Structure 1
């Protein structure tokens, strides 16, 4: 039995919130897309936020947000980010595992075997290993504060066709769902672990290839995105990153005290397709 599975009272919410102190969140991949929206939303609602990202923008961060440059695939960088959070703010209450990359939609026969292997490794390293290393770095502080973890999944955690996901991305997001469920069981009752699985979100896809770690941003024209997404989900909705951020904030709040191992799916109703 792990040291997290003891008989102390379960985490009802961030201990910081219980004492009226501003809670502290660490968000990976928080300089763009969904991660940026989550970081800014948390900060706007009273959290102190630190972002870990490989590509930190120049200039001042948004109010209430600070940056740590680092790679989620590195255990050392994840540990350093947590150390900096605690050094700056004295505690950590929420870990948001969000950094991710895409495979560009490549299927099993779309790439030579060696290239497929390399793309798959790169996607799994960021989207699965990055989550595990971030969680490992944060867990002791979260146990201390009675905090929580919230991860970004995808409609590709449940579906395998029609959503632009290739075989590597689908495999990674299915694996990340397993990570969420395993951590929820392992860390109860001390740390709650939940996730948000968006679908139909307007954001750039950073797709890795077999040559570079940097990846490339893949965009369609706005009208193509709207037409494809609205036709794909039953509600015909098109979501922006800012519309997803409140789901993360809810899962990190006292209102979600009874939830662990759960996945919120703001995807326009894809579960009923």
Structure 2
């Protein structure tokens, strides 16, 4: 059983006037987030290393494209400056870029371990750091990261590197929330399996979830919208599980 997408094409304006950078915007959760945020009135800076996917998302959302590798600090610094100039500032960041990696600890070379942490954890840190000069100028800025149910409850063999990277994002979120308060809120969403390319070959995981299905990307985008919006104005340092009941089932 699959869910219906959250975004119904009806503008609501919950992000009207906001200028938000979304990484991983070329596909998956990042694209779903860009679509929903555009419906809610946000001006978007779309970041990804996939130019074709970025172009498609930009056509759907009216966002501005910035082709960038989130592990390359020089590229990110330049992209952040150009995005802030084009949008007139940045007051929100959604760190949706990341990679899935499967492999047992005994079989994973150190280089692969480092790559997973570099993209998922260090990339999240670098993106946030590069946008801080603009975020800290705003009275109600926000950063929302994407962790994983594996980061909260790493009970599936073969996900050690991935779980470590996502657990690191949870700790990073809390540390940044303490450091950047009171002007910048920092939270994260912890999804279970989501119906994206990363789930290829693993959609049978639905049996492990209380709701007996995996998530539609729009359902994760809806949680990101809440944490970015003024409705979450008193929420920071939080980890919102959006995992269909995986954590307790």
Q: Is the 8 A contact 2:152 2:167 kept in 1?
A: yes
Q: Give the equivalent residue in structure 2 for 1:150.
A: 144
Partner residue in 2 for 1:202: 195
Confirm whether residue 52 of structure 1 aligns to residue 50 of structure 2.
no
Question: Are 1:47 and 1:64, in contact at CA under 8 Å, matched by a contact in 2?
Answer: no
Equivalence for 1:253: 229
Q: TM-score, normalised by structure 2?
A: 0.88
Alignment correspondent of 1:74: 72
Give the paired residue count.
233
2:242 is matched with which residue? 266
SS of the aligned residue for 2:136 comes to helix
Q: 1:272 offset after TM fit, Å?
A: 1.7
CA distance in 1, matches of 2:210, 2:158: 19
State the structure with more CA Rg. 1
1:233–1:269 contact (8 Å) kept in structure 2: yes
Equivalent position SS for 1:136: helix
When normalised by structure 1's length, the TM-score is 0.80
Secondary structure of 2:82's aligned partner: helix
Indicate conservation of the 8 Å contact 2:105/2:158, yes or no. Answer: no
CA deviations 1:196-234 (Å, max 9, x no partner) are 1110211112xxxxxxxxxxxx722xxx61xx2321112
Question: Could you tell me which residue of structure 1 aligns to residue 107 of structure 2?
Answer: 110
1:76 deviates by 1.4
RCO greater where, 1 or 2, for CA within 8 Å and sep 6 or more?
1
Deviation at 1:157, TM superposition (A): 1.1
List alignment gaps of at least 5 residues for structure 1: 1-16, 206-217
Matches within 5 A, 1:217-236: 219-220=200-201, 225=203, 228-236=204-212
Q: Is the 8 A contact 1:108 1:167 kept in 2?
A: yes
Q: How does 1:156-175 map to 2 (within 5 A)?
A: 156-162=150-156, 166-175=159-168
Contact 1:44 1:64 in 2 (8 A): no
**Cα distance change, pair 82–48 in 1 and its aligned pair in 2 (3 A):** same
Q: Residue 165 and residue 176 in structure 1: after superposition, are their counterparts in 2 closer, same or farther (change >3 A)?
A: farther
Structure 2 residue runs without a partner (length 5+): 1-12
Contact 1:156 1:165 in 2 (8 A): no
For each residue in 1:87-130, what CA deviation from the matched residue of structure 2 results, as whole angstroms up to 9, or x when unmatched?
11111011111211122x2011234xxxx201111101100110
* Cα 1:68–1:47 shift into 2, 3 Å: same
Q: How does 1:15-34 map to 2 (within 5 A)?
A: 22-34=17-29
Once residues 222 and 79 of structure 2 are traced to their aligned partners in structure 1, the CA distance between those partners, rounded to angstroms, is: 24
